[in-house]
Amino acid sequence: MEFSDRVLKCCDCGAEFVFTAGEQLFFHDKQFKNEPKHCKQCKAKRVRGGSRVRPETRTNCSQCGAETTVPFKPTQGRPVLCRSCFQQAQGKPQPVPEIAAESLAIPEPS
């Protein structure tokens, strides 16, 4: 099968790029059905962006025990909450510290 260079348009930036005969042969060999949709610059960007994996650590929720993943490394002794427990905790009104309640009480005259 003969291949000749073709000009394709990038889906991302609209730039024209050459799908060379050599590349077409490579695609044909690999039995890739789809033509490349992105120019070299955009492809490079995608590869770089895709390789940045967020570190996710599997752990168990300190509250309900459900398995969850966190985008950080949990430190020993620090409670880790699953998504739903975290949202519940966020929705709860902050408990009034005892010291504040005491200071509101009017001291009895002695």
42 binds Zn ion (CB under 5 A): yes
The encoded tokens of residue 33 equal: 């059905």
Residue placing its CB nearer to Zn ion in the complex, 28 or 65: 65
Closer residue to Zn ion (CB): 24 or 39:
39
Strand residues in 10-82 grouped as ranges (E)? 16-19, 57-60, 67-70
Residue 38 neighbours by CB under 8 Å, 6+ apart: 10, 11, 12, 46
Kindly indicate which of the ranges 21-29, 54-62, 89-97, 101-109 contains the residues binding Zn ion, using the contact rule CB under 5 A.
Answer: 54-62
Closest separation in Å from C-beta 15 to Zn ion = 5
Q: Given the rule CB under 5 A, which residues bind Zn ion?
A: 10, 12-13, 15, 39, 42, 61, 63-64, 66, 82, 85
